Amino acid sequence: MEIKIFAGIKEKMGTPVIEIPAGDEITVAELKDRIHIDYPELDGEVFQVAVNEAFQTDDFVVKSGDVVALIPPVSGG
């Protein structure tokens, strides 16, 4: 599964996309766990998961072909 990353997470990883092996379906909570296993350098990073351009809760099921992004908090005025 291809996951788009932005801002500080992108800078930390040095790439705009990370890959996570996943089956046809995975919950957002399972996806977060998998990200922390495969990319331990992201431990402690705060982000929300967007699927098909909408923020989702941990129980949301991500399906093969969905567009997934990690969105860090945004600040400013």
Confidence band (pLDDT; 50, 70, 90) for 45? confident
Between 77 and 15, the more confident residue is 15
Tell me which amino acid residue 6 is. F
Burial-class residue 72 by CB neighbours within 10 Å (0-12, 13-18, 19+). Answer: middle
User: What is the model's pLDDT at position 1?
Assistant: 87
Output DSSP code: residue 16: S
Q: How far apart are CA 5 and CA 49, in angstroms?
A: 10
Q: Which fold has domain 2-71?
A: Ubiquitin-like (UB roll) (3.10.20)
Per-domain boundaries in the chain: 2-71
Residue holding tokens 């949301």?
60
